[in-house]
Structure 1
């Protein structure tokens, strides 16, 4: 691997892992659904401006069928995944949030088995079992010590399931659209859908316009939703499997960042559980050291 690609891969991993951390910071100033709504509406508006004004004529508008599909992808991958994820982060650490993300591959495999008959190998089954044991090792102590809540873990599980369903739909429909167009409209529809629950559930809650609020908006919109997504596309184009490996390393970076920034402790349970999860992913083939330029992996829009 060239030094440039190594540095860019490390940068992507660190920025991707910072998503849960900056969301925890933003929650100090505003309720979760309000935060998510503002973020996605701003990011969506900027992305539409880029696609259809700055790059006018290069990206055609989706047709009616594609808009319907993009609506559902926005609901699943943006509204539910990040909306439920933000609510879960009120009672779950950012480290645990980041640890759940790579396990999406297993949930996707199970859904593909049930709905499209895609087979699961013995190695994949073994990897699933090992990784879920690792998740239990990390989460159980935090539940026992009341550092996380059962409701928060359940919401986090629902968020990851939502992302897996969105991935399954994305694969089934085979949209003939640029990945940038898909992610733009996911963000737009996700933000628009979130307006309703945000108004119904959080209209009476206060927003503090301080450094935490504006820092969250700047980082989540410009650094994560725009810069890091484009960096992800670059890594995918260079080598899809290596790009996926950087995504899998997200929990490690997440725990390392959360310790100094949020004061979240790195315990022996954290270390052992994370290593077990990563070993399960490696065992199942989700961590692959071989290079491939043809495998298409969908980016998640965190």
Structure 2
């Protein structure tokens, strides 16, 4: 890996982890579902303009079957994952949120074992057990120190499970669409689905269009939904295994950003738990440190 690849990988990791921190700032001035709805609708409109206006003729519209699949992916990967995640962030730290995200890979492996007949080796089972043990150890100090609630942890677990189910559907259905088209319609459907629950559950709740909300929307739409997504596709094209490694280093960056920007504590148990999660991911094969040949494309 060259210096450019290292810098881009570190940039991706920091930006990805910053999402939960940005959410915490936004939640100071607006309710969670409203924030999520605004983010996805703005990002969805911009992405639609890009792929169907600025890039006219390059990307085709999905067919009826593909639209139906994209609806479910939007519900699971966008509406439920980030909608419930934002609600959970009202009562948990951003560090815990970032620690839970990589475990999606392990949940996906379990679902693939149950529904797709994918085999799981003994070493992979060990990695799964170690990672979930690490999650419990890392979450315990937050629960005791009032930096998380049982309800928040449960909502976050459901959010991660919904993302794993979405990954399973994506794998099984094998959509023949470019990644940017899939992501665009996931975001569009995710935002549209959230409109009704946001209106029903958060009508009348105060919204302050201050720098917390404006900063969250600018950061989440442009830095995360557009720039960092493009960077992710670039890293995948260069080397998929290395790209996955950067994604799984998200908890480390999450703890550092949470401590610096939000004053969230980093306890000894939190560090031990994070190390166990990463070690479990490595054992299960979801985190490879073997060198890989760079792509020639």
Range into which the TM-score falls when normalised by the shorter chain: over 0.9
| Structure 2: gaps (5+ residues) | none
TM-score, scaled to structure 1:
0.96
Stretch of structure 1 that moved more, 210-219 or 266-275: 266-275
Question: Is residue 260 from structure 1 mapped to residue 284 from structure 2 by the alignment?
Answer: no
Question: Is residue 67 from structure 1 mapped to residue 78 from structure 2 by the alignment?
Answer: no
Correspondence for 2:163: 163
Paired residues, number: 294
| 1:22 CA drift (Å) | 0.1
2: CA distance, partners of 1:179 / 1:161:
22
| Structure 1: gaps (5+ residues) | 295-302
Correspondence for 1:8: 8
Correspondence for 2:126: 126
| 1:286 CA drift (Å) | 1.1
TM-score, scaled to structure 2:
0.97
The question of whether the paired residues in 2 share the 8 Å contact of 1:241 and 1:292 is answered with no
The question of whether the paired residues in 1 share the 8 Å contact of 2:141 and 2:270 is answered with no
| 1:293 CA drift (Å) | 6.9
CA RMSD of aligned residues (A): 1.0
Correspondence for 1:205: 205
* SS, match of residue 119 in structure 1: coil
Write the mapping of 1:281-292 to structure 2, written as runs, cut at 5 A. Answer: 281-290=281-290, 291=292
Measured against aligned partners, the alpha-carbon deviations of 1:96-130 in whole angstroms (never above 9, x if no partner) come to 00000111111001111111111111111000111
Question: Is residue 186 from structure 1 mapped to residue 186 from structure 2 by the alignment?
Answer: yes
* SS, match of residue 43 in structure 1: helix
Measured against aligned partners, the alpha-carbon deviations of 1:78-103 in whole angstroms (never above 9, x if no partner) come to 00000000000000000000000111
* SS, match of residue 265 in structure 2: coil
2: CA distance, partners of 1:208 / 1:103:
34
| 1:143 CA drift (Å) | 1.4
Runs of at least 4 residues of structure 1 off by over 3 A?
none
| 1:292 CA drift (Å) | 6.2
